[in-house]
A and B are shown apart, each in its own frame.
Chain A
Amino acid sequence: MAELLFELGTEELPARFVVPALDDLEKSIAELCAALNLTHGAIRRFGTPRRLALLIEGLPEKTADLMKDVQGPSVKAAFEADGTTPKVPAIKFAQSVKLPVSELKRVTTPKGEYLMATVEEKGRRTFELLGEVLSTSIRKLVFPKAMRWGDVEQTFGRPLQWIVALLGTEVVPVTYSDVKSGRVTRGHRFLANQPITIDRPGDYEALLEKAHVVADLTRRRAMTVERIAAAAKQAGGTVLQDEALVDQVLNLVELPNPVVGTFEERHLDLPPEVLIQEMKSHQRYFTLTDSAGKVLPKFIAVSNTPVKDVKLSVKGYERVLRARLTDGRFFFDEDRRSTLAARLPSLARRSWIDKLGSMAEKSDRVRALAVWLANAVAQQATVPTVERAAALCKADLNTGMVGEFPELQGVMGREYALHDGEPKDVALAIFEHYLPRGAGDSLPTQHAGALIGLADRLDSLAGLFGIGKRPTGAKDDFALRRAAITFIRIVVAKGYRFSLSAAIDQALAALAPKLVDVKRKAGEPGVREQLLEFIQGRLESTWRESHRADVTDAVLAVGIDDLVTAQLRLNAISAYVERPDFKALAATFKRVANIVEKQAKDVARAPVDPSKLTDEAEKTLYAEVSKVVSAVQTAVKADDFSGAMARVVPLKPLVDTFFDKVMVMADDQALRENRVRLLMEIGALFGNVADFARIQTE
């Protein structure tokens, strides 16, 4: 068994390339090995800005010999009519597998009888196979952006500088672009930039460590986090957690050396989000806070080099931040010379989306739709706040600060609104209409922000669907999937009851002047239908993450026009799904649902006629059904679907007995129809919750 070290040495790769490239490399090497029957043990990964490396353990000297069945020509073609005298194809096949014709086997396939031979495939030397595997794996690497360099045809994420390909003590020949493989790597660019010769793959990590490079990503990450925390503690603060920033910084250094710097306290009156953004987005600095979470006038930068005199280098870091904060302060002061309200006319000159007009027009539509929603969900009290906040909610887009940091949209709107003396609720709603900004973000705390956010997203969905820009495949340029999922999330969390289709109609009506000229393909469903289907699709995929597909289908089939009740119905049925007797329960109701569905066209809905009930079983069932009908209806009206289920479920044994004892499809039409109507009545009871015909009971 031998180990392989495969290292691609590069000029500094973009931080975001490192992990995906390692994933790709590992996957394609594993696949290529599998295809060649080359077994291996564990694969370890190493990555820094200057290298992508894999250490593969447990490689055999050569691959195993294999006994392999080879199929030949059909018996019919290979032999004369007697079935034993070989013709040319049989002889040729025997030659090709190096066996006498008499030792060829016969197999029966769906296409007839064929000749077959078992041949031994000799294993190949791992050393030779790896040359192929490694070369192919480099060619197959895909970067988000690839480049050429010098006078080479091939591309890579950044210019390739060296390749190490070492199987045991031998160099596997691999060539890519202007680089040939060897056993020489390099250490830290400034602390140990001399060639380092590797004798054995197992020495790699320790040799690099000596050369000031921590190549193991997991270890370097732990080290980065630990050292940052220690530096923060020493500086008397806590690091503001930011996993994404750690991931980025991690791949900007080969050795993490956090240093603490300070900035002038006078900048602390800038909104904390601005300070954080200034430090993070341009400089990749970590913010420090006190125990109460207040931003301290300190930061942590992570150097690649443990410099001789930290003070000198920190002075540099502080200088850059000082200039940035001065810029930020300039924007903040300049922006506040004008009020948000005074900026509104400028939104008319800001295009939202080409065919859908300006931001001012969007703002107007959002305001009207948000007010409509507020009335629809009986939150009339919030209408004045909604009106004002919706009018102002996009005004911060034209401020210098948001121009510099688009991530601060909403945050600056809130700050500037407060500065303008707008009511607190209005300022909060401006901020909250963007919430949640991602899967982990919190929801709006107040109705005004939630309703404006819903209106904003629905207007975007309707507008973009209206001009044919709906997401297709992986392409979702306007993040409409996220918009729809967030829309659903807010509606359900806030318990907003309204008709989804009516809201879509409302949004489309406001957009009508923009959509009037849009050409549509013949036979294409209308925008309203497309959008309803799209939202249902998002709901379905969200539900399916934690619910059975058939249960999801069964609930969706009853309709989603009221998203809140749709969710409540799912919750109600979910409580039963996990029970051991659910399958039997579902089977019974499914049987009811199936019969009702089948008979629906022949049997008109009508009350059950008690006088025509003959059997004891159907009489008992009818009596019980009659007892629960009104309770179930009351429960449904009160959105208490669990209560409704709790009343319907006990009918199961009676329904079973009914099916056992009573012939539904009686010859007598009147009897038959009456029994179907009894089933219809039961169907209607649970039909409020889900369509049981869709539940899988097999």
Chain B
Amino acid sequence: MYFQDLLLTLQNHWAKLGCIVTQSYDLEVGAGTMAPYTFLRALGPEPWNVAYVQPSRRPADGRFGENPNRLFQHHQFQVLLKPAPKNVQELYLQSIKAFGIDPLEHDIRFVEDDWESPTLGASGLGWEVWCDGMEITQFTYFQKCGGYECRPVAAELTYGLERIAMYLQGVESVYDLEWVKGVKYREIFHENEVEMSKYALHESDPEQLEMLFKSYEAECKRLIVEKELPLPAYDYALKCSHAFNLLDARGAISVTDRAGYIKRVRDNAALCAEGYLKMRQKLGWPLCKTAWTVGEQLPMHEGKPASDWWKTVSFEKKADKAEKKAEVTRG
């Protein structure tokens, strides 16, 4: 199976089940989780079912195109199903059958692997899915996102496309993958790996990156706090995170400073999460009014535990509260 067919097969599988297929998010992200289609949409009571390919940049993993398994940029196939359908494991297993992994021919197992992203304030419990001892998918039930509890709980499936394709094509190096007949991964991405690795590991300008980090951080805050624009603010949170990754790959962040940077990225992500929730609440959680379900998924109408729960959550920041208090006194 060509790389492109793998990607199309997955896309079709999830599309047929009722997921929307979006295109990759157009900013630098380290993982499909960071695209707003997952990070923001996992929040609140609204249903959400999405599938997309996400090119994911990991500057520290750049190996100048010399390592057969590690890449500066790889591709994830990301699925988010919210709420997690009761039969999500079956839906997943159908998807791997669709690209040719038959659970009666291979040893498929769900092995404990919990996930936590300190930069996103997000965590979940789940598995890495093994095919004959190889991890092919990260399967996570989101428990927290941007510091907020996930209610309902979303199921996230992240397929490592290169790895699966290498397995299906029986090649030992990612560069030997055939993208389509006659065109190899090498021809498409090798030079990208070489140059991006050179940049990230040797040629980036730490001073400038640090400056960018600071200004992205400030812009994110300004957009949230002063302008109540969580969506553009989140773009800046992502840019901030990428600047951090570049600094980190360059070895420009000391061990002691590292935790501080991570906290700054996380704080911004949490602000965006809060801004997004306020915005959706103001809009009346529009997707709750749809009858959109995938698999054995519960409809998320009014009156369900999750929508009741969100009514009890207050998004008012301390600053707002202080403001209100002052008004009351004046009144």
| Given A149-B141, A150-B84, A308-B104, A349 and B255 contact (CB-CB distance below 8 Å) | yes
Given contact pairs A189-B103, A305-B108, A307-B104, enumerate 16 new A-B contacts (beta carbons under 8 Å). Answer: A11-B110, A12-B109, A15-B112, A148-B150, A148-B151, A149-B141, A151-B300, A303-B132, A304-B108, A307-B107, A313-B106, A313-B132, A316-B106, A321-B133, A323-B69, A350-B255
CB distance from B313 to the nearest CB of A (A): 15
A189 to B107, CA, bound (A): 11
Residues of A within 8 A of B109 (CB): 12, 252-253, 304
Scoring B residues 78 to 115 as 1 if CB is less than 8 Å from chain A, else 0, what string do you get? 00000111100100000000000001111111111010
CB of A320 closer than 8 Å to a CB of B = yes
CB of B229 closer than 8 Å to a CB of A = no
Residues of A within 8 A of B214 (CB): none
CB of A147 closer than 8 Å to a CB of B = yes
The reply to whether B125 and A283 contact each other, CB–CB distance below 8 Å, is no
A11 to B86, CA, bound (A): 10
Residues of A within 8 A of B105 (CB): 307-309, 312-313
The reply to whether A145 and B125 contact each other, CB–CB distance below 8 Å, is yes
Residues of B within 8 A of A11 (CB): 89, 110
Scoring B residues 231 to 255 as 1 if CB is less than 8 Å from chain A, else 0, what string do you get? 0000000000000000000000011
The reply to whether A150 and B133 contact each other, CB–CB distance below 8 Å, is no
CB of A187 closer than 8 Å to a CB of B = no
CB distance from A282 to the nearest CB of B (A): 9
Which B residues form the contact surface with A (CB < 8 A)? 69, 83-86, 89, 103-112, 114, 125, 127, 131-134, 141, 143, 150-153, 167, 172, 254-256, 298, 300, 304-306
Residues of A within 8 A of B106 (CB): 305, 307, 312-313, 316
Q: Find the A residue at minimum CB distance from B111.
A: A252
CB distance from A349 to the nearest CB of B (A): 7
- Option from B103, B151, B255 in Cβ contact (under 8 Å) with A151: B151
CB of A384 closer than 8 Å to a CB of B = no
A320 to B111, CA, bound (A): 16
CB distance from A156 to the nearest CB of B (A): 10
Residues of B within 8 A of A159 (CB): 84, 141
CB of A178 closer than 8 Å to a CB of B = yes
A12 to B129, CA, bound (A): 11
CB of A301 closer than 8 Å to a CB of B = yes
The reply to whether B104 and A316 contact each other, CB–CB distance below 8 Å, is no
CB distance from A188 to the nearest CB of B (A): 10
Q: Find the B residue at minimum CB distance from A253.
A: B109
The reply to whether B153 and A149 contact each other, CB–CB distance below 8 Å, is yes
Residues of B within 8 A of A322 (CB): 172
A278 to B86, CA, bound (A): 36
CB distance from A9 to the nearest CB of B (A): 12
| Given A11-B89, A316-B132, A151 and B298 contact (CB-CB distance below 8 Å) | yes
CB distance from B15 to the nearest CB of A (A): 23
| A537-583 at interface with B (beta carbon < 8 Å) | none
Residues of B within 8 A of A148 (CB): 141, 143, 150-151, 153
Residues of B within 8 A of A321 (CB): 133
A319 to B104, CA, bound (A): 19
A150 to B300, CA, bound (A): 10
The reply to whether A151 and B107 contact each other, CB–CB distance below 8 Å, is no
